[in-house]
Amino acid sequence: IADAKALADLLINDQADEALLQRVGAMIKRFHHAGLDHVDLNARNILVDDAGKPWLIDLDRCRLRTAGKWQMDNLARLERSFGKFMSKPHAVEVMDSILQGYHN
């Protein structure tokens, strides 16, 4: 994906706005509805292209499953990944925005 940046880098540089984070949440929801369990969902495996479209990468260990607890486990893993490069309060704010997009 030409010129795409990792969501982690955008967050570190304060370049991820509310609208982008909600698009990320909506993207994750689409994958979850399709049954894709991304066992390594983290802020480095979400890329954002120049148009602001999020992309999910590193699908090598993914599997298709019926709906279940794994979906919330994926989201929890994503939130934990934020803690590796930002404060807990900021990580919670980012995750809240992503969840708004996920639940809409």
List active site positions: 40
Q: How many Å apart are CA 38 and CA 60, to the nearest integer?
A: 9
| Strand order, beta sheet including 54-56 | 5-6, 46-48, 54-56
Q: Report whether 86 contacts 12 (CB < 8 A).
A: yes
